[in-house]
Structure formats: C-alpha cells, structure tokens
Amino acid sequence: MRSTGDLLAWSVVAVALLYTGSLPVTTNDLHIYLSMGRWMAEHGALLETETFTWTAEGTPFVNGTWGFSLAAYHLHELIGLNGLRLLNGAAVAAAVLFVIRAGIASGFDRRAAAVAGFVCWALLLQNTVVRGQTWVFPVFAGLIWWVASERGRAATVALAVSAGALWGALHGSFGAGVVFFTLTALGRRIDGEDWRTPGLVAAGLFVGACLGPYGPAIWLYVVENSDLPRQRDFVEWYPPDPNTFEGFRFLVVLGGWWILAGTQDKQRPWADLLVLAAFAYLALSGTRFIAWFGLATAVPLARRVAESMSPDQGNRLVKPLAGALGIAWLVFFARLVRPLPEPLHHDTPVDLVEQLRTAGVQRVLNAPEYGGYINWVYPEARTSMDIRTWIFDDATFANYVLASRAGAGWEARVAEADGLLLLETFHGNTLIPAAVESSCWTLLAHNERGAAFVRSNQECP
C-alpha cells in the first residue's frame, strides 16, 4: 500500500505547510524578539540587560532565546513578515514529515505512519505562530527519525550535540528532548533492545545545550521560566479545557489511544509506554505541552494504528482523509498566495500605538501582550511589561494586576506612566471605563482591540 500511504503522507505535509504558512503574524510573541534581535545587530553584543521597559530597566537577565531573536531579525530584514510566516510553515511541515518518516523507518505501514503524522499536526495547531518553539519542532522530530533510522553512533553523537546547541539558542524547550530520549533509552533497555543510540542522543542534547554563552546555567533559566508562568496564571500553562478547541482535540486523541489500547492484547514496548505516560502527564498539566505530546507519541501511535488496521480498513480510512486534505490544500493555498502587505493578526493594535506615538507618549503602561509590538514600531517609547515573564519581579507583576482591577488607588499604581495601552478582553470592564471617567487621562482611541490614553493632568498621583 505504498502509493496510498505516500499520497496521504504528502497530503498531510502539504496541508501543514500551507495552513501554517498562511497564518497571520500574532502580536504577543514575535515582536519583542525582533526588537531584541535589532538591538543585538545594532550593538554587536548579546543583550543581557533590560532596555525596553521602564519597570525593569537595567535589570540583568538570561537571554535564553538570543539565537532566535537574531535569526528572526535578520530574516525579517531579508524576507519580511510574509517570508517569516512561510518559513514557519516549512518548519511545521518538516516536523510532520520527520515523524512520518520515523514511523516508516520503524517498519510500520505507510498509511499508519501518515495517519500518525496527521494526528501530530492536529496537536501542533495551537503552537504554530512565529516563535522559537515552532522552529525547534523539526529539530526534535528530526532526531526521532534519526534514531528510528539506526544511524552510526559517532554521527549520532555529533548530530545530537549540534542539535542541542541549536535548540538551546532558539528556545528553552530542549529539556523535552532530553526527557524523551532518556525515557526511550530506559524503555528499550527494559525491552532488551538497542538503548545506547537514544541514550547518546539524550546525553548529546544535554551537552549541546550547555555549549551556549550561559553554559550549564541555561538549565536554571529553563526551570525558573517554567515556574513563573504557572505562578502568574498564564493561560497556555492551564490544564486543557475540553470546552476549547485545543483541549477538545487533545481529549479526542487520548480517547483514540484508549480505544486502540482496549482492542489490542499485545504487550506494548516499555519505550512507548514511558513516553506516552510522561508526555500525557505534561499535556494534562498545561496546554502548551499538547504539541510536544503530538510529536513524542507519533511513532508509538503509528505502531498501534498499523497493528489494528487491516488492508481494507486502511484504504477505507486513508482515501477519504486524503481527499479531504486535497480540498484543504486549495483553501489554504488561496489564503497563502493572497497578497497581504502587512500580514498581522487582526488583534494587533496598529492604530492605537500610532495614537500614542502622535501624542508623544514616552512611558506606556500596557497589557503584556502589546509590549513587544510597541517596542518594535515605536522604539522611542518604554513599555511597562511584555511576555518575557522572567524579567519582571513579583512586585511589578502584582502592581500591574492590581492596577488592571481598577480598585481604590489604581491611579497611584500607574503614576509613572504618561500613556496607557489596554486590552479590551482583559481591561474592558475594569481599567478602560475607570480611565475614561478619570480626570487624569484623555482617551485617544477605543476599538475592539483595546484603548489608548494619554495623561492629561500632571498633578494626578
């Protein structure tokens, strides 16, 4: 069933490329990294002291995504935002292709590997914006394919160390790779199979991540940056909610795993079981880990689908799926080639920031989601906060939360700001109406994205 499996596999890869490559660029992540990359390119140095915000100005920090910031900035200068989103699509498509090829290299039916690749892509959907995490998906998936292909150990060590160094420069998720290959090695040891290759990859990733400018201290950065978002209730660190698209997709996939487990009496390899248990636990603990569950469990899923699928069942499943994906090609391709002079997401506060610039605002108290965009398009201003959680101390974050509630004394909490850029979905019933009623602030603009204010009375607290 080579031709049918290949048709579905390439259909999945094409849809992953076209869908992700046609997504608009979101506000909250990319622009702060572009700003950091611009600073490093202009100064020829690693940015390790906060310079964009007035609340943390001069604070030293670990720049754990320095590689992504520099690469994204230089690529933006060459290919623009449209090129970056297409490159993002290529990263996701490559990750899906690698896990499909890993399933085939493991000896499973091509149709089963393609189905597993489709499930993997479905679980990547909420993590496909232009960010360092998306760029390391193919690094992780490529290593999974390499191990499944049973390559030489010397080449494996060299590749793993290089991948760890690259991963460590782009995004702090390299711990997921170390966990995956460590568990795979342990499981294979129990199963009596070759455990040294995945063990070498785990060790190589660990060493490679330590080769960056921070050495082994990069692991402390990862731990701290994982704990703070949980403490501060960032949404993507919440457990999956079945009422959301992300949570529903994940629970449907878990249900599929349960059905497959119930229809098979054969003992599963320990390597599969350990990986499945660990990454299911992570995904159930936080939505941001759903994508890693999809990548980590793609090959075990291909095994189960292959063992459960008869030839006729395979064709009945694969052909309609391939046809549906063929229709999706056309839709996403049309969206991809549609001319977009500025492919920003509709929630980008372009007009609101322009109002602040026109008013000459220098210190903005802003929703963290908007901080990076302000820094990118209005570098003369200083923001109060952005999505780099690890830079801001607890007092700064608590002050923002309390000010956002617009309770008694809120004006004193924003006394150092001469402008406000607020988020409608967060401040629409609190700080926005309070600022409208205050004699200290003048409303510049208000729309579905939020509101911009300038200080009108310097005598106010």
Q: Tokens 């409208």 — which residue? A: 436
**Whether residue 435 has pLDDT greater than 90:** yes
Q: What was the pLDDT predicted at 322?
A: 64
| Contact between residue 165 and residue 204 where contact means Cβ atoms under 8 Å apart | no
Residue whose token pair is 């849809």: 15
Helix %, strand %, coil % for the chain, to 5? 65, 5, 25
Q: How many C-beta atoms lie closer than 10 Å to residue 310's C-beta? A: 8
- Return the residue matching tokens 């960032």: 234
Convert the pLDDT of each residue in 317-345 to its tens digit.
666 766 666 666 666 666 655 655 568 88
Rounded Cα gap, residues 325 and 347, in angstroms: 29
- What pLDDT shows up at residue 226? 66
Higher pLDDT, 448 or 260: 448
**Is residue 449 over pLDDT 70?**
yes
Work out the number of other CB atoms within 10 angstroms of the CB of residue 123. 22
Query: Closest Cα partner for 388 from 17, 57, 63, 10?
Result: 63
Distance (Å, whole) CA 202 – CA 164:
9
Q: Is the pLDDT of residue 311 over 90?
A: no
Buried b (16+ CB within 10 A) or exposed e, 358-376: ebebebbbbbbbbbbbbbb
Are 33 and 132 within 8 A, CB to CB? yes
pLDDT, residue 448, reads: 92
Please state the φ and ψ torsions of residue 180, each to the nearest 5 degrees: -60, -50
Per-residue confidence (pLDDT) for residue 199, from 0 to 100: 96
Q: How far is CA 87 from the centre of its chain?
A: 15
- 209-218, 279-288, 367-376, 377-386 — which is least confidently predicted? 279-288
Q: How confident is the model at residue 53, as a pLDDT?
A: 96
pLDDT score at 39: 97
Q: Which of 12, 26, 3, 28 is nearest to 387 (CA)?
A: 28
Q: How far apart are CA 21 and CA 35, in angstroms?
A: 22
Domain layout of the chain by residue ranges: 2-337, 350-455
Residue 265, pLDDT above cutoff 60: no
CA dihedral 177→115→289→204, nearest 10 degrees, is 0
Lowest mean pLDDT: which of 110-114, 275-279, 371-375? 110-114
DSSP 181-205: HHHHHHHHHHHTS--HHHHHHHHHH
Report the C-alpha gap between 134 and 139 in whole angstroms.
Answer: 10
pLDDT at 441: 93
Q: Identify the pLDDT of residue 234.
A: 62
Q: Rounded distance, CA 341 to CA 76, Å?
A: 14
> Token match 């692991």: residue?
219
pLDDT for residue 372: 94
Question: Residue 273, Cβ neighbours under 10 Å: how many?
Answer: 16
pLDDT of the residue at 125: 86
Instruction: Name the average pLDDT for the chain.
Output: 87
Mean pLDDT of 292-316: 81
- Tens of pLDDT along 14-66? 888 888 888 888 877 899 999 999 999 999 999 999 999 999 999 999 999 99
Q: Is the pLDDT of residue 227 over 70?
A: no
The span from the CA of 74 to the CA of 352, in Å, is 27
